[in-house]
Structure 1
Amino acid sequence: MTVRQLGGALGVLGGIVWIARWLLDPEAGSADIMRYAGLGLVLLGLVCVGLTLVKGQALWLDVVVGFACPALFWAIYEVVRAELGEAVLFHGVLGIAWVLVGAVLVVKGKPRVDDRSQVNA
């Protein structure tokens, strides 16, 4: 499993938690715990995906981009959530989106085989 696939799997888990929060009673005491658990899993997944966005020798750039991706998502998430209030439907829709995006990352996150290496073989 690559780092990108791990990020996709964490995104799927976070999306499932948000979907479960949407389907369960939103007034229950576990609703806030599920919101933060889903957010934490999605942010960890974004760190993994962000680490794979930059290719090169600069480790510091990998780290900066790796932590900039979840920071950007979190900022947008908080602005939209504050605008909508405590709409549980928002987390349900966001959870479905993350399950779909994460599934694509898990399936398509494998490194591509270099065609030049197969020609020489």
Structure 2
Amino acid sequence: MGTSKEAEQISPSAEHYVSLICDQHEVAVILPEKVWKHCDVSAVCRDSFGPLVCLTFDVPLDIEVAGYLQPVVNCLANAGLSIVPQCALIYDHIQVNEKDSDAAITALTELRQSALSDAP
């Protein structure tokens, strides 16, 4: 996960999010819940879920960095937590169900502590 300063920069969002997925072959949109409540798309939605909490990895990454998110995804999967990853060019985010946010933060904190103890 990088330095301890970088690992400490995983922060939950203050607001809730809703994920929209339009298939065949996909358009995915993650909106603040307050925006979703003002949209009139309920007639075309097959399903919705949330509220989601967005955990942001607030570490600017070079485009050449590969695989850094894999330990995070594995950690959360091993904790039995469902996630919606949202990767962008510079920053990455993981949405978790609001009810799972404390467990996700605990699991990621333990991952950070393990990574730090293994660091040279």
Normalised to the residue count of structure 1, the TM-score between the two structures is 0.35
Structure showing greater Rg: 1
Structure with the larger RCO, 1 or 2 (CA within 8 Å, 6+ apart): 1
Normalised to the residue count of structure 2, the TM-score between the two structures is 0.35
